[in-house]
A and B are shown apart, each in its own frame.
Chain A
């Protein structure tokens, strides 16, 4: 047996560049312009966000872009409370934060995004929310700052 058990450490730092592609670049351009683009299937008419080349419902090629939202319905949500390292930065992501799955008006699926409301006792599934765009936009998902609660009459 060895006299001690040795572990060898590694502290890696890698840079990545992910291509958004044709559909993703169109989506991100849309966000930069302050609108949310989805793809519509010519065969089954499903509208999906983010837009993509293959329909997730019937697998036909999707070619048409349509605007969805900016309002929608909250399908589910969670408040993330535990600490963890964010692989995007290599540092701890600030917690707590709240995100949800939002069914944007006109879309058949949901978009996962942050919610402004951080008190989960004030959130309920089925409530109306609306995208809040940043003043300065860079062509990323975070051009939408978060979804705010829409006051119901």
Chain B
């Protein structure tokens, strides 16, 4: 990168299923105030993002900028679907690395409750009206066909997937910002309603109302506690859902390619990672993508997560919190908090290197490596 980029402050709302007590700008303001209180510096530009399908508001940047203090400042909107949050982090990094600005605040938000809980309806409208909408049932079925293939290839069991949900909830209990903080058992996951085979209700992430703000800065503003961006990579996407089968194992390799690029740029290997904040919209893909990230071999993740000392989603991950336009950015914020020693009860002792992922429709994957020292 042209210039070194640091994260100097993060802020989140307490994510919930519904926040009827606040408007969208008021919700955003909660996260922004908290990030500014940590960073103690005025941003020169504001980059804002949400997924737009859900609230039915298609100029969300203008509408939300009042909540983020962007009036009179340069700004951009980022909307890349599920990856919106991670794309915001990449945009913040690009803006500072380029030398354009020294301090940039990025803000991701979603108020999914405002579409009356019809998140699937909104997601379907993100896909092709002629070829895909008739069959597609949003993120749930899109991930289900992916999970079905993974189960077929490697014999992953429902019990192994259920354990992922159990662990995520246990982690979320230590995270005051997490949405789902109630423990679940393997039996509860296995007995929860089938959404789209093989994914059951408790295998799937929730829908949340929430916002997240992260402040990126150049070296001059970094301060002692900075979490440094060591590498970013953005994977390719496909034009149609059926194109996912183009390569030998394309169900998995879009993330693997982005991860390999990020590892190479950061000059690290998976063994150097202390904490992972991965975008895990369902249990089966949590396992599959740990393999794509190189932490274990294909089909080995079920066993790997039982014995590894690696901290995987200490926040509880997407399985416990999912305000979609903020979800990827929450991964970045949580990773930065770990490196800055701000993670409270969920702090991973001595965390020095963090890996962050974002995932969205069309198999778009984004990867970021953060380090305590640059």
Complex interface: chain B residues within 8 A of A112 (CB): 131-132, 135-136, 240-242
Q: Is A152 an interface residue (CB 8 A)?
A: no
Task: Tell me how far the C-beta of A24 lies from the nearest C-beta in chain B, rounded to whole angstroms.
Answer: 6
Q: Is B193 an interface residue (CB 8 A)?
A: yes
Q: Is A65 an interface residue (CB 8 A)?
A: no
CA A110 – CA B241 in complex, angstroms?
A: 8
CA A77 – CA B147 in complex, angstroms?
A: 10
Asked if A110 and B242 sit within 8 Å, CB to CB, the answer is yes
Which of A56, A88, A140 is close to B243, meaning CB atoms less than 8 Å apart? A56
Complex interface: chain A residues within 8 A of B194 (CB): 79, 81
Task: Tell me how far the C-beta of B206 lies from the nearest C-beta in chain A, rounded to whole angstroms.
Answer: 14
Task: Tell me how far the C-beta of B130 lies from the nearest C-beta in chain A, rounded to whole angstroms.
Answer: 6
Which of B121, B198, B251 is close to A84, meaning CB atoms less than 8 Å apart? B121
CA A119 – CA B132 in complex, angstroms?
A: 22
How many residues of B sit at the interface, in one of the four size bands? 35 or more
Asked if A56 and B138 sit within 8 Å, CB to CB, the answer is no
Asked if B124 and A57 sit within 8 Å, CB to CB, the answer is no
| Chain B residue nearest in CB terms to A6 | B20
How many residues of A sit at the interface, in one of the four size bands? 35 or more
Asked if A49 and B148 sit within 8 Å, CB to CB, the answer is no
Complex interface: chain B residues within 8 A of A142 (CB): 134
CA A54 – CA B152 in complex, angstroms?
A: 32
Complex interface: chain A residues within 8 A of B124 (CB): 86-87
Complex interface: chain B residues within 8 A of A50 (CB): 130-131, 240
Q: Is A48 an interface residue (CB 8 A)?
A: yes
The digit string for B160-199, where 1 denotes a CB below 8 A from any CB of A, is 0000000000000000000000000000000001111110
Asked if B149 and A125 sit within 8 Å, CB to CB, the answer is yes
Complex interface: chain A residues within 8 A of B242 (CB): 49, 101, 109-112
The digit string for A1-30, where 1 denotes a CB below 8 A from any CB of B, is 000010100101000101010001000100
Q: Across the A-B interface, give the 3 residue pairs with the lowest CB-CB distance, nearest first.
A: A78-B144, A84-B120, A110-B242
Binding site for A on B (CB under 8 A): 20-21, 56, 118, 120-122, 124-125, 129-138, 140-141, 144-146, 148-149, 152, 193-198, 238-246, 251
13 new A-B contacts at CB < 8 Å, known A109-B243, A125-B149:
A5-B21, A48-B243, A76-B145, A76-B148, A79-B196, A80-B137, A82-B193, A85-B118, A88-B129, A93-B137, A99-B136, A112-B131, A141-B130
